[in-house]
Copies of this chain bind each other. A is one copy, B any other.
Amino acid sequence: MITIKVMSLVIEPRVLKGFRDFLPSAEIERRGFVERVETVFRSFGFVPIDTPALEYAEVLLGKAGGETEKQVYRFNDNGGRDVALRFDLTVPFARFVAEHRADLPLPFKRYHIAKVWRGENTQRGRYREFTQCDFDCIGGDSAAADFEILLMMREALSAAGAPSITIHLNHRGLFNRFLSTIDASGKSIEILRAVDKLAKAGKEEVLKTLSTFLDDERSRKILDYVEAKGSWDETFYAMTSAAGSDNPDAERLKTLRDFMLDTGTQDIFKLNPSITRGLDYYTGLVFETFLNDMPSIGSVCSGGRYDNLTGLYSKEALSGVGSSIGLDRLLAALEALGRTAKRKTYADLAIICVDEKRGGLYQSMAGRFREAGIPCEVFFEAKKQSAQFALAESKGIGWALIPDLDSATSGGGSGSGAVILRNLALRQNSAELSIDNAILFLKKNLT
Protein backbone atom coordinates (compact mmCIF):
# COMPACT_ATOMS: atom_id res chain seq x y z
CA MET A 1 0.00 0.00 0.00
CA ILE A 2 1.42 3.32 -1.10
CA THR A 3 -0.02 6.46 0.38
CA ILE A 4 0.46 10.02 -0.74
CA LYS A 5 0.74 12.79 1.77
CA VAL A 6 -1.43 15.68 0.68
CA MET A 7 0.48 18.92 1.10
CA SER A 8 -0.98 22.33 1.48
CA LEU A 9 1.15 23.38 -1.48
CA VAL A 10 -0.43 22.66 -4.87
CA ILE A 11 1.85 20.82 -7.35
CA GLU A 12 1.63 21.91 -10.96
CA PRO A 13 -0.09 19.13 -12.94
CA ARG A 14 2.09 18.57 -16.02
CA VAL A 15 3.62 15.72 -18.04
CA LEU A 16 7.21 15.31 -19.20
CA LYS A 17 8.24 16.73 -22.56
CA GLY A 18 7.65 14.16 -25.30
CA PHE A 19 5.01 12.37 -23.21
CA ARG A 20 1.26 12.62 -23.72
CA ASP A 21 -2.06 12.19 -22.03
CA PHE A 22 -4.76 10.65 -24.18
CA LEU A 23 -8.15 12.22 -23.61
CA PRO A 24 -11.19 10.07 -24.33
CA SER A 25 -11.66 10.99 -28.00
CA ALA A 26 -7.98 10.37 -28.78
CA GLU A 27 -7.92 7.16 -26.76
CA ILE A 28 -11.14 5.87 -28.34
CA GLU A 29 -9.56 6.44 -31.74
CA ARG A 30 -6.31 4.66 -30.80
CA ARG A 31 -8.11 1.73 -29.26
CA GLY A 32 -10.37 1.44 -32.30
CA PHE A 33 -7.30 1.39 -34.49
CA VAL A 34 -5.63 -1.29 -32.37
CA GLU A 35 -8.79 -3.38 -32.22
CA ARG A 36 -9.20 -3.32 -35.99
CA VAL A 37 -5.62 -4.31 -36.79
CA GLU A 38 -5.68 -6.95 -34.06
CA THR A 39 -8.74 -8.52 -35.65
CA VAL A 40 -6.77 -8.84 -38.89
CA PHE A 41 -3.69 -10.27 -37.14
CA ARG A 42 -5.82 -12.83 -35.33
CA SER A 43 -7.65 -13.79 -38.52
CA PHE A 44 -4.26 -14.83 -39.95
CA GLY A 45 -3.52 -17.01 -36.92
CA PHE A 46 -1.04 -14.57 -35.39
CA VAL A 47 -0.96 -14.69 -31.59
CA PRO A 48 -0.27 -11.92 -29.07
CA ILE A 49 2.59 -11.91 -26.57
CA ASP A 50 3.75 -9.39 -23.99
CA THR A 51 7.12 -8.69 -22.40
CA PRO A 52 8.24 -6.46 -19.49
CA ALA A 53 8.60 -2.71 -20.01
CA LEU A 54 11.76 -2.86 -17.88
CA GLU A 55 14.61 -5.30 -18.55
CA TYR A 56 18.25 -5.81 -17.68
CA ALA A 57 20.18 -3.12 -19.59
CA GLU A 58 22.64 -5.78 -20.70
CA VAL A 59 19.81 -7.77 -22.29
CA LEU A 60 18.34 -4.77 -24.13
CA LEU A 61 21.57 -3.07 -25.12
CA GLY A 62 24.15 -5.80 -25.46
CA LYS A 63 27.40 -3.95 -25.23
CA ALA A 64 26.12 -1.09 -27.37
CA GLY A 65 27.12 2.43 -26.45
CA GLY A 66 27.21 5.87 -28.01
CA GLU A 67 24.03 7.02 -29.75
CA THR A 68 21.93 4.17 -28.39
CA GLU A 69 22.96 4.84 -24.83
CA LYS A 70 21.92 8.47 -25.02
CA GLN A 71 18.39 7.63 -26.15
CA VAL A 72 17.63 4.88 -23.68
CA TYR A 73 16.03 5.35 -20.24
CA ARG A 74 18.59 3.43 -18.20
CA PHE A 75 19.10 3.51 -14.44
CA ASN A 76 19.94 1.47 -11.37
CA ASP A 77 16.88 0.10 -9.57
CA ASN A 78 16.57 0.02 -5.77
CA GLY A 79 18.29 -3.37 -5.76
CA GLY A 80 21.27 -1.91 -7.65
CA ARG A 81 20.43 -3.67 -10.92
CA ASP A 82 21.37 -1.94 -14.17
CA VAL A 83 17.97 -1.73 -15.93
CA ALA A 84 16.43 0.03 -18.94
CA LEU A 85 13.02 0.69 -20.45
CA ARG A 86 12.51 -1.13 -23.76
CA PHE A 87 13.17 1.13 -26.75
CA ASP A 88 11.62 -1.20 -29.34
CA LEU A 89 9.77 -4.52 -29.51
CA THR A 90 12.31 -6.35 -31.67
CA VAL A 91 15.04 -6.78 -29.06
CA PRO A 92 12.61 -8.03 -26.38
CA PHE A 93 11.13 -10.40 -29.00
CA ALA A 94 14.58 -11.82 -29.75
CA ARG A 95 15.20 -12.32 -26.01
CA PHE A 96 11.70 -13.83 -25.62
CA VAL A 97 12.23 -16.31 -28.44
CA ALA A 98 15.65 -17.37 -27.14
CA GLU A 99 14.25 -17.83 -23.63
CA HIS A 100 11.04 -19.70 -24.55
CA ARG A 101 12.23 -21.48 -27.68
CA ALA A 102 11.04 -24.89 -26.46
CA ASP A 103 7.46 -23.65 -26.03
CA LEU A 104 7.09 -22.06 -29.46
CA PRO A 105 5.98 -24.24 -32.39
CA LEU A 106 7.69 -23.05 -35.60
CA PRO A 107 6.87 -21.15 -37.67
CA PHE A 108 5.89 -18.89 -34.79
CA LYS A 109 3.64 -16.01 -35.81
CA ARG A 110 3.22 -13.31 -33.21
CA TYR A 111 2.06 -9.73 -32.89
CA HIS A 112 2.94 -7.30 -30.12
CA ILE A 113 1.35 -3.87 -29.68
CA ALA A 114 2.89 -1.95 -26.79
CA LYS A 115 4.56 1.24 -25.67
CA VAL A 116 8.29 1.87 -25.99
CA TRP A 117 10.45 4.72 -24.71
CA ARG A 118 13.27 6.73 -26.29
CA GLY A 119 14.73 9.98 -25.03
CA GLU A 120 14.80 11.43 -28.55
CA ASN A 121 14.99 15.05 -29.53
CA THR A 122 11.37 16.19 -29.33
CA GLN A 123 12.03 19.13 -31.62
CA ARG A 124 11.63 16.88 -34.64
CA GLY A 125 8.04 16.18 -33.59
CA ARG A 126 9.01 12.87 -32.06
CA TYR A 127 7.55 11.45 -28.90
CA ARG A 128 9.55 9.90 -26.10
CA GLU A 129 6.74 7.44 -25.36
CA PHE A 130 5.05 5.87 -28.34
CA THR A 131 3.27 2.71 -29.38
CA GLN A 132 4.80 0.09 -31.63
CA CYS A 133 2.74 -2.44 -33.51
CA ASP A 134 4.92 -5.33 -34.71
CA PHE A 135 4.06 -8.60 -36.40
CA ASP A 136 6.60 -11.27 -37.34
CA CYS A 137 6.75 -14.82 -38.58
CA ILE A 138 9.92 -16.61 -37.48
CA GLY A 139 11.42 -20.03 -38.11
CA GLY A 140 11.66 -20.63 -41.82
CA ASP A 141 12.52 -18.73 -44.97
CA SER A 142 9.86 -18.95 -47.66
CA ALA A 143 8.21 -16.71 -50.21
CA ALA A 144 4.88 -17.72 -48.67
CA ALA A 145 5.90 -16.23 -45.31
CA ASP A 146 7.16 -13.03 -46.95
CA PHE A 147 3.92 -12.76 -48.90
CA GLU A 148 1.74 -13.36 -45.86
CA ILE A 149 3.33 -10.42 -44.05
CA LEU A 150 2.75 -8.21 -47.11
CA LEU A 151 -0.87 -9.33 -47.36
CA MET A 152 -1.40 -8.65 -43.66
CA MET A 153 -0.01 -5.14 -44.08
CA ARG A 154 -2.57 -4.53 -46.81
CA GLU A 155 -5.46 -5.97 -44.78
CA ALA A 156 -4.45 -4.28 -41.52
CA LEU A 157 -4.02 -0.84 -43.08
CA SER A 158 -7.28 -1.19 -44.91
CA ALA A 159 -9.07 -2.22 -41.70
CA ALA A 160 -7.46 0.73 -39.92
CA GLY A 161 -9.08 3.08 -42.40
CA ALA A 162 -5.95 3.95 -44.38
CA PRO A 163 -6.77 5.15 -47.87
CA SER A 164 -5.06 3.59 -50.87
CA ILE A 165 -1.47 2.53 -50.26
CA THR A 166 1.60 1.50 -52.22
CA ILE A 167 4.03 -1.01 -50.76
CA HIS A 168 7.57 -0.53 -52.09
CA LEU A 169 9.69 -3.68 -52.16
CA ASN A 170 13.35 -4.40 -52.56
CA HIS A 171 15.66 -7.35 -51.94
CA ARG A 172 18.85 -6.73 -50.01
CA GLY A 173 20.39 -9.98 -51.21
CA LEU A 174 19.96 -8.97 -54.83
CA PHE A 175 21.51 -5.58 -54.12
CA ASN A 176 24.51 -7.26 -52.51
CA ARG A 177 24.90 -9.48 -55.59
CA PHE A 178 24.89 -6.38 -57.76
CA LEU A 179 27.55 -4.73 -55.58
CA SER A 180 29.64 -7.87 -56.00
CA THR A 181 29.43 -7.70 -59.78
CA ILE A 182 30.85 -4.15 -59.75
CA ASP A 183 33.39 -5.09 -57.10
CA ALA A 184 31.99 -2.68 -54.46
CA SER A 185 30.93 -5.10 -51.70
CA GLY A 186 33.58 -3.74 -49.37
CA LYS A 187 31.80 -0.39 -49.28
CA SER A 188 28.27 -1.75 -48.87
CA ILE A 189 27.55 0.03 -45.56
CA GLU A 190 28.55 3.43 -46.96
CA ILE A 191 26.66 2.75 -50.18
CA LEU A 192 23.47 1.74 -48.36
CA ARG A 193 23.72 4.85 -46.24
CA ALA A 194 24.06 7.07 -49.32
CA VAL A 195 21.31 5.34 -51.31
CA ASP A 196 18.91 5.53 -48.37
CA LYS A 197 18.79 9.30 -48.90
CA LEU A 198 17.69 9.14 -52.56
CA ALA A 199 14.03 10.04 -51.98
CA LYS A 200 14.88 12.93 -49.65
CA ALA A 201 18.14 14.33 -51.08
CA GLY A 202 17.76 13.58 -54.80
CA LYS A 203 20.02 11.99 -57.42
CA GLU A 204 22.74 14.64 -57.58
CA GLU A 205 23.32 14.58 -53.87
CA VAL A 206 23.54 10.78 -53.73
CA LEU A 207 25.95 10.77 -56.68
CA LYS A 208 28.10 13.34 -54.92
CA THR A 209 28.21 11.26 -51.75
CA LEU A 210 29.04 8.07 -53.65
CA SER A 211 31.84 9.84 -55.51
CA THR A 212 33.64 10.56 -52.25
CA PHE A 213 34.58 6.89 -51.91
CA LEU A 214 33.93 5.34 -55.36
CA ASP A 215 34.99 6.10 -58.90
CA ASP A 216 32.48 7.83 -61.20
CA GLU A 217 31.61 4.76 -63.24
CA ARG A 218 30.63 2.64 -60.27
CA SER A 219 28.81 5.56 -58.64
CA ARG A 220 26.74 6.01 -61.79
CA LYS A 221 26.06 2.27 -62.04
CA ILE A 222 24.78 2.25 -58.46
CA LEU A 223 22.54 5.23 -59.10
CA ASP A 224 21.30 3.53 -62.22
CA TYR A 225 20.51 0.38 -60.26
CA VAL A 226 18.54 2.08 -57.50
CA GLU A 227 16.37 4.19 -59.75
CA ALA A 228 12.94 2.68 -60.36
CA LYS A 229 12.30 1.87 -64.01
CA GLY A 230 8.48 2.07 -64.15
CA SER A 231 6.59 -1.22 -64.18
CA TRP A 232 7.45 -4.18 -61.97
CA ASP A 233 8.66 -6.21 -64.95
CA GLU A 234 10.86 -3.40 -66.31
CA THR A 235 12.46 -2.79 -62.93
CA PHE A 236 12.88 -6.50 -62.27
CA TYR A 237 14.56 -6.92 -65.66
CA ALA A 238 16.94 -4.04 -64.98
CA MET A 239 17.80 -5.36 -61.50
CA THR A 240 18.42 -8.92 -62.62
CA SER A 241 20.40 -7.75 -65.65
CA ALA A 242 22.73 -6.02 -63.25
CA ALA A 243 22.73 -8.56 -60.42
CA GLY A 244 22.02 -11.86 -62.16
CA SER A 245 18.65 -13.48 -62.82
CA ASP A 246 19.53 -17.05 -61.99
CA ASN A 247 19.84 -16.91 -58.21
CA PRO A 248 17.58 -17.55 -55.20
CA ASP A 249 17.05 -13.82 -54.51
CA ALA A 250 15.73 -13.10 -58.01
CA GLU A 251 13.71 -16.29 -57.78
CA ARG A 252 12.16 -15.08 -54.51
CA LEU A 253 11.05 -11.82 -56.12
CA LYS A 254 9.61 -13.75 -59.04
CA THR A 255 7.63 -16.07 -56.75
CA LEU A 256 6.32 -13.11 -54.78
CA ARG A 257 5.18 -11.54 -58.03
CA ASP A 258 3.35 -14.78 -58.93
CA PHE A 259 1.59 -14.76 -55.54
CA MET A 260 0.52 -11.16 -56.11
CA LEU A 261 -0.94 -12.03 -59.49
CA ASP A 262 -2.64 -15.16 -58.10
CA THR A 263 -4.35 -13.10 -55.41
CA GLY A 264 -5.10 -10.09 -57.62
CA THR A 265 -3.17 -7.81 -55.26
CA GLN A 266 -0.40 -6.76 -57.66
CA ASP A 267 -1.59 -3.16 -58.07
CA ILE A 268 -0.49 -2.03 -54.61
CA PHE A 269 3.08 -3.37 -54.93
CA LYS A 270 5.98 -1.55 -56.53
CA LEU A 271 9.51 -2.84 -56.97
CA ASN A 272 11.80 -0.06 -55.74
CA PRO A 273 15.53 -0.82 -55.67
CA SER A 274 16.29 2.27 -53.56
CA ILE A 275 14.55 0.93 -50.44
CA THR A 276 17.22 -0.17 -47.94
CA ARG A 277 15.71 -0.13 -44.39
CA GLY A 278 18.69 0.42 -42.15
CA LEU A 279 22.06 -1.11 -42.35
CA ASP A 280 22.78 -4.46 -40.78
CA TYR A 281 19.60 -6.17 -39.61
CA TYR A 282 17.71 -7.11 -42.76
CA THR A 283 19.16 -9.65 -45.21
CA GLY A 284 16.37 -10.39 -47.71
CA LEU A 285 13.15 -8.71 -48.74
CA VAL A 286 12.67 -5.17 -47.39
CA PHE A 287 9.58 -2.98 -47.72
CA GLU A 288 8.05 0.40 -46.94
CA THR A 289 4.46 1.56 -47.28
CA PHE A 290 3.28 4.96 -48.43
CA LEU A 291 -0.16 6.53 -48.42
CA ASN A 292 -1.01 7.48 -52.00
CA ASP A 293 -2.77 10.60 -50.73
CA MET A 294 0.12 11.69 -48.53
CA PRO A 295 3.43 10.08 -49.50
CA SER A 296 5.35 12.96 -47.93
CA ILE A 297 4.61 11.74 -44.40
CA GLY A 298 6.95 8.82 -45.04
CA SER A 299 6.52 5.09 -44.59
CA VAL A 300 3.64 4.08 -42.30
CA CYS A 301 4.51 0.37 -42.28
CA SER A 302 7.96 -1.08 -42.87
CA GLY A 303 9.99 -4.21 -42.31
CA GLY A 304 11.76 -7.05 -43.99
CA ARG A 305 13.39 -10.45 -43.74
CA TYR A 306 16.28 -11.12 -41.37
CA ASP A 307 18.38 -14.26 -40.97
CA ASN A 308 19.38 -14.22 -37.34
CA LEU A 309 16.90 -12.80 -34.86
CA THR A 310 18.26 -14.40 -31.72
CA GLY A 311 22.04 -14.17 -32.30
CA LEU A 312 22.60 -12.05 -29.21
CA TYR A 313 21.04 -14.62 -26.85
CA SER A 314 21.38 -18.01 -28.48
CA LYS A 315 23.58 -20.03 -30.76
CA GLU A 316 20.56 -21.13 -32.79
CA ALA A 317 20.03 -18.79 -35.75
CA LEU A 318 16.32 -18.16 -36.31
CA SER A 319 15.32 -16.39 -39.50
CA GLY A 320 12.08 -14.56 -40.01
CA VAL A 321 10.15 -11.79 -41.65
CA GLY A 322 8.38 -8.98 -39.88
CA SER A 323 6.72 -5.62 -40.19
CA SER A 324 5.82 -2.70 -37.97
CA ILE A 325 2.99 -0.20 -38.33
CA GLY A 326 3.90 3.35 -37.32
CA LEU A 327 0.75 3.96 -35.37
CA ASP A 328 1.40 7.58 -34.36
CA ARG A 329 2.45 8.61 -37.86
CA LEU A 330 -0.47 6.81 -39.48
CA LEU A 331 -3.01 8.32 -37.10
CA ALA A 332 -1.57 11.80 -37.74
CA ALA A 333 -1.91 11.21 -41.49
CA LEU A 334 -5.46 9.87 -41.23
CA GLU A 335 -6.39 12.88 -39.14
CA ALA A 336 -4.87 15.28 -41.69
CA LEU A 337 -6.80 13.45 -44.42
CA GLY A 338 -10.05 13.82 -42.49
CA ARG A 339 -10.40 10.08 -42.14
CA THR A 340 -10.75 9.84 -38.40
CA ALA A 341 -14.06 9.76 -36.57
CA LYS A 342 -13.78 11.86 -33.43
CA ARG A 343 -16.01 9.96 -31.05
CA LYS A 344 -16.09 11.16 -27.47
CA THR A 345 -17.96 8.17 -26.09
CA TYR A 346 -19.21 4.70 -26.95
CA ALA A 347 -22.66 5.52 -25.51
CA ASP A 348 -25.50 6.04 -27.96
CA LEU A 349 -28.11 6.94 -25.38
CA ALA A 350 -28.43 9.00 -22.17
CA ILE A 351 -31.13 8.15 -19.66
CA ILE A 352 -32.49 11.47 -18.37
CA CYS A 353 -32.96 11.68 -14.60
CA VAL A 354 -36.44 12.86 -13.65
CA ASP A 355 -36.58 11.62 -10.06
CA GLU A 356 -33.39 10.82 -8.15
CA LYS A 357 -35.18 8.18 -6.10
CA ARG A 358 -35.60 6.14 -9.27
CA GLY A 359 -31.87 5.56 -9.73
CA GLY A 360 -32.32 1.80 -9.52
CA LEU A 361 -35.11 1.77 -12.07
CA TYR A 362 -33.09 3.88 -14.50
CA GLN A 363 -30.29 1.33 -14.27
CA SER A 364 -32.76 -1.50 -14.92
CA MET A 365 -34.06 0.37 -17.95
CA ALA A 366 -30.50 1.06 -19.15
CA GLY A 367 -29.73 -2.64 -18.68
CA ARG A 368 -32.39 -3.50 -21.27
CA PHE A 369 -30.65 -1.30 -23.86
CA ARG A 370 -27.19 -2.57 -22.90
CA GLU A 371 -28.35 -6.17 -23.32
CA ALA A 372 -29.63 -5.23 -26.77
CA GLY A 373 -26.14 -3.95 -27.63
CA ILE A 374 -26.88 -0.25 -27.15
CA PRO A 375 -24.34 1.38 -24.80
CA CYS A 376 -26.18 3.69 -22.50
CA GLU A 377 -25.18 6.27 -19.87
CA VAL A 378 -27.47 6.95 -16.90
CA PHE A 379 -27.67 10.52 -15.57
CA PHE A 380 -27.77 10.97 -11.80
CA GLU A 381 -29.11 14.43 -11.06
CA ALA A 382 -32.68 15.63 -11.69
CA LYS A 383 -31.63 18.89 -13.30
CA LYS A 384 -33.72 20.69 -15.91
CA GLN A 385 -34.13 18.55 -19.02
CA SER A 386 -32.49 21.19 -21.21
CA ALA A 387 -29.37 21.05 -18.99
CA GLN A 388 -29.29 17.26 -19.23
CA PHE A 389 -29.70 17.38 -23.01
CA ALA A 390 -26.75 19.80 -23.17
CA LEU A 391 -24.67 17.47 -20.96
CA ALA A 392 -25.46 14.52 -23.23
CA GLU A 393 -24.41 16.53 -26.28
CA SER A 394 -21.19 17.70 -24.61
CA LYS A 395 -20.41 14.03 -24.01
CA GLY A 396 -21.03 13.22 -27.65
CA ILE A 397 -24.19 11.16 -27.02
CA GLY A 398 -26.72 11.39 -29.86
CA TRP A 399 -29.94 10.31 -28.17
CA ALA A 400 -31.69 10.92 -24.86
CA LEU A 401 -34.40 8.84 -23.23
CA ILE A 402 -37.02 10.69 -21.20
CA PRO A 403 -38.63 8.24 -18.78
CA ASP A 404 -42.35 8.22 -18.17
CA LEU A 405 -42.98 11.03 -15.72
CA ASP A 406 -46.12 9.57 -14.21
CA SER A 407 -45.44 5.94 -13.58
CA ALA A 408 -44.04 5.01 -10.19
CA THR A 409 -42.15 2.10 -11.71
CA SER A 410 -41.02 1.51 -15.25
CA GLY A 411 -43.99 -0.75 -15.82
CA GLY A 412 -46.54 0.65 -13.38
CA GLY A 413 -48.02 4.00 -12.36
CA SER A 414 -49.92 5.46 -15.24
CA GLY A 415 -49.89 1.97 -16.66
CA SER A 416 -48.15 2.97 -19.85
CA GLY A 417 -44.48 2.80 -18.75
CA ALA A 418 -43.88 4.65 -21.97
CA VAL A 419 -40.72 6.61 -22.72
CA ILE A 420 -39.77 9.26 -25.25
CA LEU A 421 -36.59 9.20 -27.33
CA ARG A 422 -35.03 12.51 -28.30
CA ASN A 423 -32.68 13.02 -31.22
CA LEU A 424 -30.40 15.62 -29.65
CA ALA A 425 -28.89 16.98 -32.88
CA LEU A 426 -32.30 17.45 -34.52
CA ARG A 427 -34.02 18.42 -31.26
CA GLN A 428 -36.86 16.04 -32.14
CA ASN A 429 -38.85 13.86 -29.75
CA SER A 430 -40.36 10.52 -30.71
CA ALA A 431 -43.89 9.51 -29.87
CA GLU A 432 -44.33 7.60 -26.61
CA LEU A 433 -42.76 4.18 -26.94
CA SER A 434 -42.55 1.02 -24.88
CA ILE A 435 -38.98 0.03 -23.94
CA ASP A 436 -39.10 -2.78 -26.50
CA ASN A 437 -40.15 -0.40 -29.24
CA ALA A 438 -37.61 2.20 -28.11
CA ILE A 439 -34.89 -0.45 -28.55
CA LEU A 440 -36.16 -1.32 -32.04
CA PHE A 441 -36.47 2.38 -32.92
CA LEU A 442 -32.89 3.12 -31.83
CA LYS A 443 -31.44 0.07 -33.55
CA LYS A 444 -33.03 1.27 -36.77
CA ASN A 445 -31.79 4.84 -36.35
CA LEU A 446 -28.23 4.19 -35.17
CA THR A 447 -25.89 3.79 -38.08
Interface residues of A (CB under 8 A from B): 1-7, 10-16, 19-24, 27-28, 30-31, 42-45, 47-56, 58-59, 61-64, 67-68, 70-73, 75-79, 81, 83, 85, 87-88, 91, 95-96, 98-100, 103, 105, 107, 109-110, 115, 117-119, 129, 140, 142-145, 147-148, 151, 255, 258-264, 278-281, 308, 311-315, 344-347, 350, 353, 356-364, 366-367, 370, 375-378, 380-381, 391, 394-395, 397
Contact = CB atoms under 8 A, between A and B. Distances in A.
A262 B364 contact: yes
Contact of A83 (B16, B109, B145): B16
A114 B315 CA distance: 35
A13 B71 contact: no
Nearest to A349: B45
7 contacts: A4-B61, A23-B49, A27-B47, A45-B347, A52-B129, A105-B395, A142-B359
A140 B64 contact: no
Given A377-B44, A380-B107, A380-B144, A260 B15 contact: no
Given A22-B50, A44-B377, 20 more contacts: A2-B71, A2-B88, A3-B280, A5-B63, A12-B313, A13-B59, A13-B95, A15-B51, A16-B52, A22-B48, A23-B49, A27-B48, A28-B48, A44-B366, A45-B345, A45-B350, A79-B119, A107-B380, A109-B377, A148-B363
A6 B81 CA distance: 22
B144 A356 contact: yes
Contacts of A7: 62-63, 312
Nearest to A142: B380
Contacts of A31: 48
Given A49-B23, A50-B22, A258 B98 contact: no
Contacts of A64: 2-5
Given A258-B357, A260-B360, A356-B144, A344 B47 contact: yes
A45 B67 CA distance: 46
A45 to B, nearest CB: 3
Contacts of A70: 78
Contacts of A279: 3
A77 B73 contact: yes
Contacts of A344: 47
Contact of A6 (B20, B59, B76, B311): B311
Nearest to A370: B43
B16 A56 contact: yes
A328 to B, nearest CB: 13
A346 B45 contact: yes
A388 to B, nearest CB: 12
A5 B187 CA distance: 19
Given A45-B347, A48-B27, A140-B381, A364 B263 contact: yes
A262 B28 contact: no
A101 to B, nearest CB: 9
Nearest to A41: B346
A127 B359 CA distance: 39
What 9 A-B pairs are tightest by C-beta distance, nearest first? A45-B377, A262-B360, A75-B75, A259-B360, A45-B347, A144-B359, A24-B47, A19-B52, A42-B346
